[in-house]
Structure 1
Amino acid sequence: MSKLNTSVKKVVLAYSGGLDTSAIVPWLKENYDCEVVAFVADVGQGDEELEGIEEKALKSGASACYVVDLKDKFVNELIAPAMQAGAIYEEQYLLGTALARPVIAEAQVQVALEVGADAVCHGCTGKGNDQVRFESTFAALAPHLTVIAPWREWHMRSRQELLDYLAERNIKTTASATKIYSRDANLWHISHEGGELEDPWQQPTDQVWTLSNSPQQAPDQQEVVELTFDAGKLVAINGTEVTQTEALMALNTIGAEHGVGRIDIVENRLVGMKSRGCYETPGGAIWYQAMRGLEELVHDRPCQRLRHQLGQQLADLLYDGQWFTPVREALLASVAVLASKLTGTVRVGLYKGNITVLGRKSPYSLYSEAFATFEQDEVYQQKDAAGFIRLFSLASRIRALKQGGLA
């Protein structure tokens, strides 16, 4: 078999320990005749996925394995700004996979530069969004590195072929042909694709969901949670000061119990096809709703409209893998200005899959009971509304006079 690229001497592989990347390690060595360094990003996918991963990578043929803890960076530099902006894709998806990719790909490049690699490799398929996210980051941060994407090069097309490939080389894997779902987990969410979900008419079975209770299984009593923000940063849960990472972990536990944050969506992929996925983002859903509740209190209508526009732009940018761009920098600069007033506490109620804002308070509140009350007040002259309405409707009045109205 001829080598695909004899100039590649050392490659850093984004390694998860799953079926695909386990096969990629020996495949790279056989087809590129290169040294393979495994890079593992700890973005909160859990101890079960990370346990023994270094040994596994080495037994697959990697010369070294670097496990990098990115949880705080993920939460503080990606998740928190996204929540300040209200970034949500196609009105439902809180971007759990997309948010993690910039921090993972950036750390992969850093490892590649540190070890003197001349190439980077990922296990993304040619059908998905992640290949764009990884490679756009590589292009922005280290365009001199060769990018290897085995799924666009090799001839294997099924899980069984990958299993056979590993078996022929006596490389053990915990994967099996019966694992029908494709999942991606991190501190923010877990996604599920494949199996019955490939039929959009088919309801997800109980086997799909792994993180949260169903609303039917959730407690019969509402739980009330208070979230406190300081300039858009989540700083306390139920009055106890926490880091944003600690806050998210606590909210995930609470939210999962009450079955919040589940969605079933048919989304538009960047590459042009539609895909159906189920996502569980319990802590993120609470965070998102609380932030919006606080925003209602402190932002006037123009600010809320602008924040909404910024959020939609940031969601599309994240989904499309364009984090390391001047546009993202400009967007977040604007988001930070609006977030400077997002200080206060929001009380939410969790009940059988629902999140309800029960109360909110802020030193920057624009709500004035003196003006809004239905009772007698001393600050608002109701007769002033007549002149306002006359001027506000002046264009309609002139049009009717010119056209004769209905008379």
Structure 2
Amino acid sequence: MVDVAKAVGADAVAHGCTGKEHSEIRFEPTFFALDPKLIVVAPWREWDSMGSEDAIGHAKKHNVPVPVSNKSINSRDGNLWCRSREGDTSGEENEPKKDTFMLTVNPEDAPHEAESVDIGIVSGIPVSVNGKKLSPASLLTKLNEIGRRHGIGHMDMFGNCLSRAVYETPGVDILFAAARKLESLTMDQETLQVKDSFAQKYADLVNAGRWFDPLRESVDSFMENISRRTTGTVTLKLNKGLITVTSTCT
């Protein structure tokens, strides 16, 4: 966003955070770290009246297509890493509705026949799917396509805002299972324990918008160093929401 703002000569950027969530804590420090002169426009937080109905009406008035209506107002967020949905999910005592999951099929509706997938990893970095080398984005896109067919990656949880949310992470779950198995064969137990503690710290740093923090860069250097020997191919079987590691070659 900052690069685009500079390219078009804009003096401001905007986001849709409400003032009641963590996203703006990540967005705004990053904007200012890259360009402290930028102005941040946050209509949800700044306008006098800005409820969900107001936002939908404003979008319709200006012919901006939105995937929700006043009859179905909820928070939907999606990117390459995951798809999330909250706001119209069932109460905690109820099973999520079938149409809650928009990216993946329900596990019970997935094919009965399992599918195997090979993940190639070099120095801790996934580089290939079924023998075909792919860029990081293309690799995750491919695994999302494979995982969605088999109902992989359903997560139902309460977030930090104490609201129920459903996440869909098919490609991520496949990658995690493959990487975890290969790490267990290429790292000693103490290194894995330290790695796990740093992983939580890394997540906390990113969650707090501290991507450009020297500590984040230092953790990256540590991870790169301990992953030098984490190279091999992991074969996984996907079936009705389950991931099973069937073989590993280092």
With normalisation by structure 1, the TM-score equals 0.58
Asked whether the equivalents of residues 72 and 88 of structure 2 are also in contact (C-alpha less than 8 Å), the reply is no
1:166 CA displacement: 5.0
- Which amino acid in structure 2 is aligned with residue 290 of structure 1? A
Separation of aligned partners in 1, 2:48 and 2:201: 38
Aligned twin of 2:38: 145
Once the two structures are superposed, what CA deviation does each residue of 1:129-176 show, in whole Å capped at 9, x if it has no partner? 111111010121111222222111112232222344456xx4224332
Separation of aligned partners in 1, 2:79 and 2:204: 20
Aligned twin of 1:240: 132
Secondary structure at the aligned position of 1:228 is classed as: strand
Separation of aligned partners in 2, 1:165 and 1:242: 41
Counterpart among 214, 234, 240 of residue 326 in structure 1: 214
Cα RMSD between the aligned structures? 1.6
1:115 CA displacement: 2.8
Higher RCO (C-alpha under 8 Å, 6+ residues apart): 2
- Give every structure 1 segment of 4 or more consecutive aligned residues whose post-TM-superposition deviation is greater than 4 Å: none
The number of aligned residues is: 248
1:205 aligns with 2:97: yes
Larger Rg: 1
1:348 aligns with 2:236: yes
Once the two structures are superposed, what CA deviation does each residue of 1:10-40 show, in whole Å capped at 9, x if it has no partner? xxxxxxxxxxxxxxxxxxxxxxxxxxxxxxx
Secondary structure at the aligned position of 2:163 is classed as: strand
Separation of aligned partners in 1, 2:89 and 2:59: 27
1:206 CA displacement: 1.0
- Which amino acid in structure 2 is aligned with residue 182 of structure 1? S
Secondary structure at the aligned position of 2:233 is classed as: strand
1:255 aligns with 2:143: no
Aligned twin of 1:178: 71
With normalisation by structure 2, the TM-score equals 0.93
Secondary structure at the aligned position of 1:274 is classed as: coil
Asked whether the equivalents of residues 297 and 361 of structure 1 are also in contact (C-alpha less than 8 Å), the reply is no
Aligned twin of 1:379: none
1:349 CA displacement: 1.1
Once the two structures are superposed, what CA deviation does each residue of 1:174-218 show, in whole Å capped at 9, x if it has no partner? 332123232111122211111134x33332101211111111011
- Which amino acid in structure 2 is aligned with residue 225 of structure 1? V
1:297 aligns with 2:190: no
Secondary structure at the aligned position of 2:226 is classed as: helix
1:134 aligns with 2:16: no
Separation of aligned partners in 2, 1:312 and 1:213: 30
Once the two structures are superposed, what CA deviation does each residue of 1:274-298 show, in whole Å capped at 9, x if it has no partner? 2321111101110111000000000
Counterpart among 110, 117, 120 of residue 228 in structure 1: 120
Aligned twin of 2:108: 216
Secondary structure at the aligned position of 1:255 is classed as: helix
Residue identity over aligned pairs, in percent, reads 39
Asked whether the equivalents of residues 154 and 168 of structure 2 are also in contact (C-alpha less than 8 Å), the reply is yes
Aligned twin of 1:65: none
